[in-house]
Amino acid sequence: MIASCGRQADPAALAGRFVATDGGARWSFTGALTFGNAAAVLKDADALAPPASGVVDCSGVQHVDSAAVTVLLALKRRAADAGIELSFVNAPGPLRALADVYAVDDLLGMS
């Protein structure tokens, strides 16, 4: 089941991706983060240096399922290996709810 984050489903937005902003200090995510695209999103994120500030803005997340939590945990682990502590800010309700269900909201630094 895919949880909508209160926005219309735009097929182009469903692609989902992280982009570096503020000169690489932060990342932002736009689109969907689901089983259907999780592997591709994670692979694309591997091409980015971890955000220097450790902040990932999730306000652009439009649809999620439990794969989103897996991707965020993988990114958190990758950043920790590089000595950076990631936090995921502006997470929409459905993403926060999934993180809470899996009891990883604090681990993800979700706000």
Looking up tokens 């259907």 gives 36
> What confidence score (pLDDT) does residue 15 get?
80
Q: What percent of the chain has pLDDT over 70?
A: 86
In this structure, is residue 109 part of a structural domain? Answer: no
**Band of the pLDDT at 12, cuts 50, 70, 90?**
very low
In this structure, is residue 33 part of a structural domain? Answer: yes
In this structure, is residue 64 part of a structural domain? Answer: yes
Q: Which domain holds residue 11?
A: 3-101
In this structure, is residue 108 part of a structural domain? Answer: no
In this structure, is residue 78 part of a structural domain? Answer: yes
Number of domains in the chain: 1
Q: What is the pLDDT of residues 63-100, one digit of tens each?
A: 999 999 999 999 999 999 999 999 999 999 999 999 99
Find all residues with CB under 8 Å of 54, minimum gap 6, and list them: 79, 84, 85, 86, 87
Q: Which two tokens stand for residue 51?
A: 């955000």
**Band of the pLDDT at 56, cuts 50, 70, 90?**
very high
pTM of this structure: 0.86
In this structure, is residue 107 part of a structural domain? Answer: no
CATH number of the domain bearing residue 40: 3.30.750.24
Pairing of strands 3-4, 55-64: antiparallel
User: What is the DSSP annotation of 10-62?
Assistant: -TTGGG-EEEEEGGGTEEEEEEEESTTTHHHHHHHHTTSPPPTT-EEEEEEEE
In this structure, is residue 17 part of a structural domain? Answer: yes
In this structure, is residue 21 part of a structural domain? Answer: yes
